[in-house]
Structure 1
Amino acid sequence: MSIFDAMRRVERLREADRRRQERNLGTGRLPPGQVLTEKFPVLHYGGIPRIDLADWTFEVWGSVEEPLVLDWDAFSALPQTTITADIHCVTRWSKFDTTWTGVAGKDILQLVKIKPEASHVMVHAYGGYTTNLPIEALLDEDVVFAILYDGKPLSPEHGWPMRLVVPRRYFWKSAKWCRGLEFMPHDRRGFWEMYGYHNDGDPWKEERFG
C-alpha cells in the first residue's frame, strides 16, 4: 500500500466516523458536546483501592431511623436488577448501551426508614471519594448499585466489587468502589463538586462546571 493509499484510507475512516456521529446525534441520544466511543475509558481520582470481600461492608447512616450495615453476602443476596443505559463522562466521551446488574437504587432506599428532613445523600467510596445527589435521583428506574458489567463482575479499574451507576448524570456521580450512603438534611458538595464541578451534573444541560 502506497502512502497515498494509506492517506485515502484514513480519510475514509474519518468520514465514516463523522457520519456515524451525525447519525447518533440524529437519534437524540448523544448530549451536546459529547463524542461517542466504543471503548470504556478509565478515569478516577487516586489509585485503585485494595478491597477484601471478607471485610467489605455497605453502610447507610445519617438522617435515617436506624443505620444499616450489610456485608458482601447480604448485599449480593438482595434482589438484582439489570439495566441498559447510555453513560456520559464530563471529559466528553459517551458510551451507548452499557449493561449493568445490581441492586436498584429504589430498593436500597426501601431498606431504611428515611427521616422527613433528609433531602440529599452523600455517596462514599473506598479511597475517600465522595459525590452528592438529591435523594430523588436514586429513585430513577435506571439507577443501580452494580456488581456486574455486561454480565461479568466489575473489573477493579471500573469499581469492583460494587459501584453506583447514575446514567442521567455525568459519570463522576457514578462512584466506583461504593461503600455507603450518608443521608443528609441539606446538600453538601462531594469531592469533585468542591473542586469546581457542577453540583448537579446533567449532561443534557452541559452542567460540567459551576
Structure 2
Amino acid sequence: CVTRWSKLDTTWTGVAWRDFVKLIDVDPAATHVMAHCDLGYTTNIGLDVLDDDDTMLAHLYDGKPLDAEHGYPMRLLVPKKYFWKSAKWLRGLEFMQGDQPGFWERHGYHMQGDPWLEERFGW
C-alpha cells in the first residue's frame, strides 16, 4: 500500500490479462490503458506493465465473489504496482496512444507507482 503496509497471501481469481487481450482488437498504436471505474475514478497503466504473468481482471477474492470493499463487480489486479493501480469497481478500459494521468495521478501520485522504487508521489 502507498502507506507502506502490505497484505500478503491473498488469493485472486479471474481472467489473465494476456488471455483477455487475445480476445479483443487492440489498436497497435496503443501504449497505455486508462481504467474507468465507479464514481469517476480512473488510473493509468502502461500496456508493458499489464503484460505480466500475475496481472488479471479479478472477480474472486479468496475464493469468493468480490464484495464492494474489494472491487465488485471486477477489479483490474496489478500486483507489482501500488494498489491504487489495481482499480476497483471496474466499468471500462480505454486503450490510449500515450500516457495520461488518472484520478490519483492528477492529485500528485506517481504516474508509475512502483513500490520497489517507492514511487508514491510525482513531485
Q: What TM-score do the two structures reach when normalised by structure 1?
A: 0.57
Match of 2:114 in 1: 202
Task: State the match for 1:150 in structure 2.
Answer: 62
What does residue 165 of structure 1 align with? 77
Q: Which residue of 1 aligns with 2:17?
A: 105
Counterpart of 1:137 (choices 34, 45, 49) is 49
**Alpha-carbon offset, residue 109 of structure 1:** 1.0
Q: Which residue of 2 aligns with 1:43?
A: none
**1:106 CA displacement:** 1.0
Q: Where do 4+ consecutive residues of structure 1 move more than 6 Å?
A: none
Structure whose alpha-carbon radius of gyration is higher: 1
Shift of 1:177: 0.4
Q: Which has the higher contact order (CA 8 A, sep 6+)?
A: 2
2:104 corresponds in structure 1 to 192
Instruction: Give 1:51's aligned residue.
Output: none
Q: What CA distance in whole angstroms lies between the structure 2 residues aligned with 1:129 and 1:110? A: 26
Provide the rounded CA distance (Å) in 1 between the counterparts of 2:119 and 2:50.
19
RMSD value, Cα: 0.9
Percent identity between matched residues is: 65
Structure 1 residue ranges without an equivalent (≥5): 1-88
Per the alignment, residue 90 of structure 1 pairs with: 2
Post-superposition shift, 1:181?
Answer: 0.8
Q: After superposition, what is the alpha-carbon deviation per residue over 1:41-74, rounded to whole angstroms, capped at 9, x for unaligned?
A: xxxxxxxxxxxxxxxxxxxxxxxxxxxxxxxxxx
In 1: Cα distance, 2:90 partner to 2:3 partner: 21
Work out the CA distance in 1 between the residues paired with 2:68 and 2:44: 23
Name the TM-score, length of structure 2 as normaliser. Answer: 0.95
Deviates more, 1:134-143 or 1:108-117: 108-117
The equivalent residue for 1:5 is none
Aligned residue number for residue 30 of structure 2: 118
Structure 2 SS opposite 1:141: coil
Aligned-partner Cα distance in 2 for 1:113–1:164: 19
Tell me how far apart the structure 2 counterparts of residues 139 and 107 of structure 1 sit (CA, whole Å): 10
Deviation at 1:188, TM superposition (A): 0.5
SS at match of 1:122: strand
Partner amino acid, structure 2, of 1:142: D
